[in-house]
Copies of this chain bind each other. A is one copy, B any other.
Amino acid sequence: MSGLQLRLGELAERLGLVLEGDADLVVSGVAGIEDAASGDLIYVRTEVYAAKIGDSPARAVVAPEGVDVGGRAALRSSDPGRDFYRAARIFVPEPDFAPGVHPAAHVATDARIDPSAHVAAGCFVGAGAEVGARSVLHPGVTLSDGVRVGSDCVLHARVVVAAAARLGDRVVLQPGVVIGGAGFGYTGQEGGGLAKVTDVGSVWIGDDVEIGANSTVDRGTLRDTRIGSGTKIDNLVQIGHNCVLGENCVVVAQAGIAGSTVLEDGAVVMAQAGVTGHLRIGAGAVVGPRAGVHKDIPAGASMLGAPQRDAADFQREVAALRRLPELLKRVRKLERAREEKS
């Protein structure tokens, strides 16, 4: 925590929430229910969670209207999780980075770095690249020639952005992310073996996109690979060349989307799932954890299993499979009965 101490009344005001209880109570941090000390703000989503507060020393709770918090002060919220983490941001502010380019950064003379941006030591910014207002490049970030980074972006340590990719505003790339590596596209060549196709496309990333540590987004072949605004991608995810992800999609850790597949707005791909290339995953569709998708999915549908199944069918088949060893015996019994008769 930052050492900040806040009167609960002021905190309520800053969050725009109704306070029930002592406005002069001082809060100095946030915590989970199990770990909270008396100065910590906690939160509960529902009555069920509220029952867990028990004799926690915490004296202030973000809670839905009407939920009993055992005589503690309450900040009433229609979305306690969201408002608790807004409070957390007040106690643990985003770190501040001084504007300017570190002398041990390597920036091409014709790159355009906004004066309010921060470029740390060991960064490399190629010819013609651009970095927008207030964006932060942590140590060792590499932007190749022609890359454009919008404003208020955070590129963590060791991020690589290649292929003249363009990033919108408020994009956050966790350490080790690689944007714009070559697509895995080959043609045959005379004399045998494979020849890499020439990648002409790049990567286009919208606003408010976040990508997790060591994930990779390949450049497009002829068109750009595209990640729509608001889309969130977890760690160790692979996004193949020419993929088009819509807005507000979610792709969870270690999932992979093969080349040229389209995810419409709000589609969700859960952890370790795989989606074959050249498919269309409809708006709001959900690809379950570890699912293997090889066909288009209509908007709003839920798929599980590999090969993919409608979630309800999958559950039914899995349940039936549990009974299969016994079924084999039952059929054998029927056969014996028939053999005996004949």
Contact = CB atoms under 8 A, between A and B. Distances in A.
Interface of A: 1, 29-32, 35, 79, 81-82, 85-86, 88-89, 91-92, 95, 104, 106, 120-122, 124, 138-140, 142, 144-145, 156-158, 160, 162, 172, 174-176, 178, 181-182, 184, 186-189, 192-198, 200, 208, 210, 212-214, 216, 218, 222-223, 230, 232, 234-236, 238, 240, 248, 250, 252-254, 256, 258, 271-272, 274, 276, 289-290, 292, 294, 306-307, 313, 316-325, 327-328, 330-331, 334-335, 337-338
B82 A187 contact: yes
A35 B238 contact: no
A339 B292 CA distance: 40
Contacts of A193: 208, 230, 248
Contacts of A292: 272, 289-290
Centre residue among A1, A95, A254, A331 by max chain B CB count within 10 A: A254
Given A32-B222, A106-B104, A158 B160 contact: yes
Contact of A187 (B32, B85, B313): B85
A274 B120 CA distance: 36
Given A156-B160, A320-B325, 18 more contacts: A32-B223, A88-B197, A106-B139, A121-B124, A124-B139, A142-B158, A178-B235, A181-B212, A214-B236, A216-B236, A253-B258, A271-B274, A274-B289, A317-B324, A320-B327, A327-B328, A331-B334, A334-B334
A253 B230 contact: no
A124 B124 contact: no
Copies in the complex: 3
A176 B223 CA distance: 24
Contacts of A186: 232
Nearest to A81: B187
9 contacts: A32-B222, A85-B197, A106-B121, A140-B140, A172-B182, A174-B178, A214-B216, A306-B306, A334-B335
Contacts of A138: 142, 144
A215 B85 CA distance: 27
Contact of A256 (B140, B271, B274, B323): B271
Contacts of A208: 193
Contacts of A218: 212-213, 235
A146 B200 CA distance: 36
Contacts of A184: 212, 232, 234-235, 252-253
Nearest to A189: B82
B328 A317 contact: no
Contacts of A272: 256, 272, 274, 292
